[in-house]
């Protein structure tokens, strides 16, 4: 059996106002602001990273904030929700915390049970759908901003709305996922993560939905960790499966390969190295704008054009 992906690496979404994004994910969810950089393909747009204190893959949520962008619509073919792991017994705390966060404009739904786990669902200020799933994750608390018995542990799972459940399931099998369970129209696939207690979980919704539109409030792509498999081999596997992977791309903090499956979902496979301390010390992560080398010569101009971001580190 060929080695699978090592688990979820990161999930990336499209946001609106960058300051509101920072406030929601640091002040409300207690994640660390890991990196402020720019979109490799459009330097006038931030790329913001959140995660654990040590910026570990598997804890990372990233956003492309574009204030002048159009509001999107969640639908197929898109990742429709990202879930974060929280400790067992913490759903009531999170429901109350989110319901009281009026200033952050989050919309929270009543908790539900899914595959035996309590789930708190909410939409952030831009409409991105985020879920908090009670889990026995072995990861430590992301930060100490939230009491340890409630704090986010990292990524738990993603939910996909595909135009072809069959083809997206087949693509997940290329990454090493196996069918694990089904509950109603939700079909669950899992692959063992770095720890047996932290499997990577992907749910596909096997039901009709309206077509989505990429824009503010939608999830752009899902990235898996390459694990011990070289990216060149992942690229070959994707080619052999009939997909059209990109060339290996240097994203400074990791290298990666992208491929869109026949069901319309954009996947990425990313390395762990070199990591987020390649341009900042661990204690200083997120404290200043870090630019890809090709844009460093434009720093003064970019700093004058990009909106100011204030991060509360107390």
Work out the angle at residue 155's Cα, subtended by the Cα atoms of residues 153 and 160, and round it to the nearest 5 degrees: 155
Q: For 261-287, what is each residue's pLDDT tens digit? A: 999 999 999 999 999 999 999 999 999
Per-residue model confidence (pLDDT) at position 194: 55
Per-residue model confidence (pLDDT) at position 198: 63
Block residue for tokens 């990666």: 256
Per-residue model confidence (pLDDT) at position 193: 56
The answer to whether the bond into 77 is cis (omega within 30° of 0) is: yes
In this predicted structure, the answer to whether residue 47 has a pLDDT above a threshold of 90 is: yes
Q: For 130-152, what is each residue's pLDDT tens digit? A: 999 999 888 888 888 999 999 99
Contacts of 7 (CB under 8 A, 6+ apart): 57, 58, 191, 192, 193, 194, 198, 199, 200, 224, 225
Q: How many CB atoms lie within 10 A of CB 269?
A: 28
The residue-averaged pLDDT of 293-303 equals 95
In this predicted structure, the answer to whether residue 175 has a pLDDT above a threshold of 90 is: yes
In this predicted structure, the answer to whether residue 49 has a pLDDT above a threshold of 90 is: yes
Query: What gap in Å lies between CA 253 and CA 292, rounded to an integer?
Result: 10
CATH fold of 7-305 reads: 2,3-Dihydroxybiphenyl 1,2-Dioxygenase; domain 1 (3.10.180)
CA distance between the termini of the chain: 48
- Residue 256 tokens read as 């990666």
Residue 26 carries which DSSP code? I
Q: Give the whole-number percent of the chain exceeding pLDDT 70.
A: 97
Region of residue 281 (phi > 0: left; psi between -120 and 50: alpha; otherwise: beta) = beta
Q: For 219-235, what is each residue's pLDDT tens digit? A: 999 999 999 999 999 99
Query: What gap in Å lies between CA 250 and CA 270, rounded to an integer?
Result: 10
Q: How many helices (H) and strands (E) does the chain have?
A: 5, 17
The CA distances from residue 181 to 7, 33, 57, 116, 194, in Å, are 18, 34, 25, 12, 21
Q: For 176-216, what is each residue's pLDDT tens digit? A: 999 999 999 999 999 975 555 467 899 999 988 899 999 99
HSE (side-chain half, CA atoms, 13 Å) at 231: 21
CA-only gyration radius of the chain, Å: 18
Per-residue model confidence (pLDDT) at position 101: 83
Enter the pTM of the model. 0.95
């Amino acid at each position: 059996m060929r080695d699978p992906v090592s688990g979820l690496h990161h999930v990336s979404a499209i946001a609106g106002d960058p300051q509101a994004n920072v406030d929601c994910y640091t002040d409300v969810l207690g994640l660390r602001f890991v990196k402020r950089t720019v979109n490799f393909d459009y330097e006038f747009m931030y790329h913001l990273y959140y995660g654990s204190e040590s910026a570990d893959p598997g804890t990372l949520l990233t956003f492309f904030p574009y204030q002048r962008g159009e509001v999107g619509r969640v639908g197929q073919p898109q990742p429709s929700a990202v879930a974060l792991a929280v400790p067992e017994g913490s759903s009531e705390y999170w429901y109350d915390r989110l319901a009281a966060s009026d200033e952050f404009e989050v919309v929270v739904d009543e908790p539900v049970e899914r595959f035996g786990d309590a789930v708190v669902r909410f939409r952030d200020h831009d409409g991105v759908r985020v879920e908090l799933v009670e889990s026995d994750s072995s990861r430590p608390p992301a930060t100490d901003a939230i009491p340890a018995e409630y704090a986010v542990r990292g990524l738990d799972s993603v939910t996909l709305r595909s135009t072809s459940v069959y083809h997206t399931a087949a693509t997940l099998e290329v990454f090493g996922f196996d069918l694990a369970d089904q509950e109603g129209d939700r079909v669950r696939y899992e692959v063992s993560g770095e720890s047996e207690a932290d499997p990577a979980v992907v749910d596909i919704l096997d039901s009709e939905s309206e077509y989505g539109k990429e824009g503010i409030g939608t999830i752009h792509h899902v990235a898996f960790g390459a694990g011990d498999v070289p990216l060149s081999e992942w690229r070959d596997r994707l080619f052999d499966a009939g997909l059209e992977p990109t060339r290996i791309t240097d994203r400074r903090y990791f290298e990666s390969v992208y491929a869109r499956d026949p069901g319309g979902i954009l996947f990425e496979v990313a390395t762990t190295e070199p990591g987020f301390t390649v341009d900042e010390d661990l204690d200083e992560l997120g404290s200043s704008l870090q630019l890809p080398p090709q844009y460093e010569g434009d720093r003064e101009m970019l700093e004058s054009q990009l909106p100011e971001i204030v991060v509360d580190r107390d």
